[in-house]
Amino acid sequence: MSDIHFTLYTRSYCHLCEDMLQALQQLHGMQPYLIKQVDVDADPALIKLYDELVPVLIGRKGDQLPVQLCNYFLDVGKVQAFLQGE
């Protein structure tokens, strides 16, 4: 199982969220990772954190602290650097 996890904070009516998920899935060939989608509208605390920023992509490797990688659009360079450990 992969030790790389992405959390994608989304909402159901967000076309940018679908676009970011699709773009992230296209990078999947680089190395294995898990993607978890979380609906911000299901939690008032998440709305407070991410409401105007959705979609938001958070990456985490193993026991390391999570890192916010991008929002609105997938930053391919930043995600690739994260995957390569830079």
Tell me how far CA of residue 62 lies from CA of 3, 65, 74, in angstroms. Answer: 5, 9, 22
Number of domains comprising the chain: 1
Q: What domain range includes position 16?
A: 4-83
Q: What tokens were used for 57?
A: 């992509």
What tens digit of pLDDT does each residue of 7-58 get?
A: 999 999 999 999 999 999 988 766 788 999 999 999 999 999 999 999 999 9
CATH number for the domain spanning 63: value is 3.40.30.10
Q: Are 56 and 39 in contact (CB under 8 A)?
A: no
pTM comes to 0.92
Up-side HSE of residue 19: CA atoms within 13 Å toward CB? 12
CA-wise closest residue to 74 among 39, 11, 27? 27
